[in-house]
Amino acid sequence: MACSRFEYVKLFESHDRLLPGCWAVIRLDGRCFTSFAKKHSFRKPNDERALNLSNAAAKQVLKTFDNHLVLAYGQSDEYSFVLKRESNLFSRRESKILSTVVSMFTSVYVLMWSKFMDVELQEPPTFDGRIVLYPLTCHLRDYLSWRQADTHVNNLFNTAFWALVDQDGKSLKEAEKLLKGTNSKEKNELLFSQFGINYNNEPQMFRKGSLIIRRPGNEGYEFPKRRRVDQPSNEDHKGTTYLVDMQKDLAPSDDDYHVLHTDIIKDDFWKQHHYLLWPPDDSPPRIRKT
């Protein structure tokens, strides 16, 4: 139908390209997931099966867009994917990037449901999404720190809440009223004194969320204590070789992506994995013309 009299309808299309040179975070959230989790008998306060299912779906998204996505961070029913600053995926069209990532994550979530969950899927899970731009790496770091801090706050509350309900026989309203206005120290004290729960001994995945990264190199799992990593080069910055200390918690895997449950608020992780957020702020990527 090219060059037909109907082609004018293309004029109504909007152009929604993401700003060049910025980090882009594609954030997915489960829609009406409280009722979805209840209908499928998710365990409280955390369901490790459902979390591993989300991690598997996120890992597949990363594999599919291997050259464009840097990492993914997830907790509960949400996942954030970081698009490289220099990526020109779908000509940086926001609607196409967002719709593709959301639909792929959802499709894989449904496809792999039976592998992780022992209950029949009774209704289709749905996820909404948004894209937020961050011009500087420090902004992106703060975003990821915010999500991990949120993971801790929510999980501490939920752990105390469901301990009151399941072990102390409190109603949902009574448990909520008891915890209202309490700080982290008070919640920790309640868990330890009343239920013998040391919150610091709870699984890392529950307390810190899940970070998925691609390890450098394509070799097997025989990691040296330190290895050389070549950084990409551009006209302004020559390629540089760095010695990188490999993360201890990189578990053996039959692929190049690893799910970590580690602190990403402090600088230690980013110093060990500084190749992830490259180039640094003082050397912004050159903008490619499209």
Q: Is 271 exposed, middle or buried, given 0-12, 13-18 or 19+ CB atoms closer than 10 A?
A: exposed
Structural contact between residues 65 and 149, judged by C-beta atoms closer than 8 angstroms? no
The reply, when asked if residue 77 is annotated as ligand binding, is yes
Which residue, among 244, 240, 237, has the nearest Cα to 216 in the 3D structure? Answer: 244
The Cα-based distances of 117 to 39, 96, 103, 104 in angstroms read: 13, 30, 20, 19
The reply to whether 29 sits in an annotated binding site is: yes
Phi, psi of 40 (to 5 degrees): -105, 15
CB burial readout 41-72, b (16+ within 10 A) else e: ebeebbbeebbbbbbbbbbbbbeebeebbbbb
State yes or no: 76 annotated in a binding site: yes
CA 248 – CA 100 distance, rounded (Å)? 34
Nearest to 77 by CA among 50, 45, 48, 107: 50
Which residues participate in the annotated binding site?
A: 29-30, 76-77
Which residues participate in the annotated binding site for GTP?
A: 76-77
Which residues participate in the annotated binding site for Mg(2+)?
A: 29-30, 77
